[in-house]
Chain A
């Protein structure tokens, strides 16, 4: 029984780590809500207290040192392999060996510069580009609002496999989520990004302003983080246009008695890709 409760608590903490609210977890365990709620609140409180963003300057400098060290490590490995090959391998002449080594190093550095850029790849918008990013809103508490305007500062796309980090500012920086409910969506950027497998999309929110229908007043909508993240593996392939619909939703966190609160969160289940051949534009979500 205790272990069952521990497992449920553990599952809820995983969901909160993934961006869900306490209330959405409690909805699944109404009988345990009284026990779970204070624990989840304490956990969330401690998490928020340390939720700082490391300085971008220090992070970039550290990343540069890391990439250089990684290149050096790869180079050393290649050199070791090359010497091993000479000892047990074919009777190559010094000239041939030097030529092969130069070719290997040339290819290696060429590839590594592509795979491990020292700075983010920043593609320009292109109306014929191979990647389209759209914003949509799953219907949750959005009906409480006259408008919910989300300001998007930038978008980041990560490929765990190759280490590629794509970063761009959207062409449309403000989206009213009430206009993109359900099947509706709005294209905020289109451009060319390198082909390959990608794993995460980050949206950096600089501001969110919601006006309630009931009061006509601005309502505070909390952001769990100014960087919303969705993990979704997708591929950008040659001769295809990949449209990624990023669903952001507003969830009510109160019971209507002690005051309703709202939180903005990414909706992974409703987000994903639609891949089409040629130069098709993303038109919205697909079943």
Chain B
């Protein structure tokens, strides 16, 4: 039984400021996860997520509907902040994601399983190429569509889908080998 979903467009006449404010609650979490994949430190990833929105306010004039959705633009800012962060941390050869904590409402056996998965995933993700890691983090953790990911990375939709398949295949192989 289908109920009226009331799905009318509500974007008409909305300013960039309104749009940005509306994205905060949902995209703060996603950007924090995206950053965490790259930098491995949850607290710093959350700082970056907050910083992204402050940078976005400063740069709203330059946004001007440049052909990409605002959420994709936020990840572009996040990407730049992550690069800056990693540059500052460049003396470190590896990225530590061991301090990711699991929600306290999870059961102990689940925590143990997830910790093992994190460790295996950490190793596997580090062996992907930078572009592969970027595609996966934007698609899985940022929950952007492949089209949004493509526009953000300056690539075609098709090449992003191909890169995505190759990245997951490689990830799968690495997880099996481990």
Question: A160 near B165 (CB under 8 angstroms)?
Answer: no
CB neighbours of A2 from chain B (8 A): 162
Instruction: Report the separation of the CA atoms of residues A42 and B118 in the bound assembly, to the nearest whole angstrom.
Output: 12
Instruction: Say yes or no for A62: interface residue by CB 8 A criterion.
Output: yes
Number of A-B contacts (CB under 8 A): 192
Other-chain residue from A5, A41, A47 in contact with B165 (beta carbon distance below 8 A):
A5
Smallest beta-carbon distance B174→chain A, Å: 9
Question: Roughly how many angstroms separate A287 CA and B21 CA in the complex, as a whole number?
Answer: 35
Binds B, one of A49-57, A88-96, A122-130, A250-258: A49-57
Knowing A17-B140, A52-B33, say if A226 contacts B105 (CB, 8 Å).
yes
Query: Is A9 a contact partner of B165 (Cβ separation < 8 A)?
Result: yes
Q: Determine if A50 and B158 form an interchain contact, defined as CB atoms under 8 angstroms apart.
A: no
Interface size on B, residues (CB 8 A): 68
From A14, A63, A69, A272, B4 is in contact (CB under 8 Å) with A272
B125 closest partner in A (C-beta) = A46
Residues of B close to A162: CB separation below 8 A: 18, 21-22
Residue among B8, B24, B53, B100 with max Cβ neighbours from chain A (10 Å): B24
Partner of B21, one of A62, A116, A197, A226: A116
Instruction: Write the nearest CB–CB distance from B136 to chain A, whole angstroms.
Output: 7
A269-284 vs B, CB cutoff 8 Å, 1 = contact: the mask equals: 1111111000000000
Asked if A232 and B158 make an inter-chain contact with CB atoms under 8 angstroms apart, the answer reads no
Interfacial residues of chain A within 27-73, with CB under 8 A of chain B in the complex = 38-39, 41-43, 45-55, 58-59, 61-63, 65-67, 69-70, 73
A63 to B25, CA, bound (A): 8
The stretch of B77-85, B88-96, B141-149 that contacts the partner chain: B141-149
Contacts A13-B139, A50-B141, A287-B1 given: A66-B50 contact, CB under 8 Å? yes
Mark interface residues in A75-102 (1 if CB within 8 Å of B CB, else 0).
0000000000000000000000000000
A159 and B25 alpha carbons, distance in the complex (Å): 10
Instruction: Enumerate chain A residues within 8 angstroms of B164, measured Cβ to Cβ.
Output: 6, 9-10, 13
- Kindly identify which residue among B7, B24, B136 contacts A46, using a CB–CB cutoff of 8 Å: B136
- Report whether over half of chain B's contact residues are helix, strand or loop; otherwise say mixed: helix
- Partner of B20 from the list A17, A70, A235 (CB cut-off 8 Å) is A70
8 A Cβ contacts from B152-178 to A:
158, 161-162, 164-165, 168-169, 171-172, 175
Which residues of A lie under 8 Å from residue B42 when comparing CB positions? 52, 54
Report how far A141 CA is from B10 CA in the complex, Å: 35
Q: A residues within 8 A CB of B54?
A: 65-66, 69
The total of chain A residues at the interface (CB under 8 A) is 71
A38 contact set on B, CB distance < 8 A: 172
In angstroms, Cα B169 to Cα A81, docked, is 54
Name B103-119 residues within 8 Å CB distance of A. Answer: 103, 105, 114, 117-118
| Residues of chain A lying within 8 A (CB to CB) of residue B124 | 46
Q: Are B5 and A10 in contact (CB under 8 A)?
A: no
In the complex, A4 Cα to B7 Cα: how many Å?
30
A158 on the B face (CB < 8 A): yes
Residues of A within 8 A of B (CB): 2-3, 5-7, 9-10, 13-14, 17, 38-39, 41-43, 45-55, 58-59, 61-63, 65-67, 69-70, 73-74, 115-116, 156, 158-163, 165, 182-183, 197, 199-200, 206, 226, 232-235, 245, 268-275, 285-287
> Can you pick out 30 interface pairs between chain A and chain B where the beta carbons lie within 8 Å of each other?
A3-B162, A14-B145, A42-B168, A43-B140, A46-B121, A46-B140, A47-B140, A49-B117, A50-B33, A50-B36, A50-B118, A50-B121, A50-B140, A52-B101, A52-B103, A58-B46, A62-B28, A62-B46, A62-B50, A66-B53, A66-B54, A73-B60, A116-B21, A163-B21, A232-B5, A233-B10, A268-B5, A272-B3, A286-B3, A287-B2
